[in-house]
Amino acid sequence: MNRKDRILLLELVKTDFKLRYQGSILGYLWAIIRPLLLFGILYIVFAKFLRFGSDIPFYPVYLLTGTVLWNFFVECTNQGIQSLLIRSDLMRKIAFKKWIIVLSATATALINLGINLIVVVVFALISGVTPNLGWFIVPFLIFELYLLSLGLALFLGSINVKFRDVQSIWEVLVSALFYAVPIIYPLSMVISYNEMAAKILVLNPLAQIIQDIRFFLITNETMTIWELIKNPIFQVIPMIIVIVVLFFGVKIFQKKSRYFAEEI
């Protein structure tokens, strides 16, 4: 990336972040309030009424962490998918690498995640979670989640330029996917019903990443793919999926980017 591209990327990130909260009374506080509100609803319904997570230490922190990471994935992919259409005027006026637009949109989501993770850490410390060396592994898992989100954003965003239904279809798929990832329910609950289903579930990179972050950040009683699946070949499947998604996302984007100006 040359100096011109870096400057453009930085300016787009600044603009995206400012515009997202422009005109609202609470402004940037919405970056914190939105996931907290969702967490509050999920906690009341699933922890208080349905009694989920009673066997998990620090379950409120456990739930908040999953909620924050899920929100990042949804925000990162949604913003990345529609970013090319939002910046269509810019693409017509200036010659630059089009992937910068998607990268800036996902980078804005990454900033929001950073803010939310500060809240998670404070909440964890208040709840009695003891800091440990495993916390240093969390950034690498966040990076894995970002690469997965970026790959999907590049792939779906490039298709959405021509087929505008992609955004709507993705929103429906994400709503369904929410229940296929152990965010509100513990993985042990799935195991009690069907262990094979639990093993298949953790092959999903989202499930693997969220469970690993919970393990290192909150409690080592969190069930992870490394404990549930003993075969090393199957253990690395989620990471292979991330690499494949990113690779094809980049390739498809490069192939279709030359036609963006005509299709927008």
Residue 230 belongs to a domain = yes
Structural domain boundaries enclosing 46: 8-263
Question: What's the total number of domains in the chain?
Answer: 1
pLDDT, residue 122, reads: 86
Question: Does residue 112 sit within a domain?
Answer: yes
Say if 41 falls within a structural domain. Answer: yes
- Euclidean distance between the first and the last CA atom of the chain, given in angstroms as a whole number: 25
Output the pLDDT for position 49. 62
Most confident of 28-42, 137-151, 215-229: 137-151
The confidence score (pLDDT) of residue 24 equals 53
Residue 125 lies in a domain: yes
Q: Residues 177-209: pLDDT tens digits?
A: 988 898 888 888 888 888 898 999 999 999 999
Question: Which of helix, strand or coil describes residue 80?
Answer: helix
Has residue 241 been placed in a domain?
yes
In a domain, 156, yes or no: yes
Residue 155 is predicted with a pLDDT of 93
The answer as to whether 75 is a domain residue is yes
Reported as a single tens digit per residue, the pLDDT across 47-104 is 666 566 667 788 888 888 998 999 899 999 998 898 888 777 777 777 677 888 888 8
User: What global pTM score does this model have?
Assistant: 0.88
User: Alpha-carbon Rg of the chain, whole angstroms?
Assistant: 19
Closest CA to 253 of 94, 83, 17: 83
45 phi and psi angles, rounded to 5 deg: -70, -50
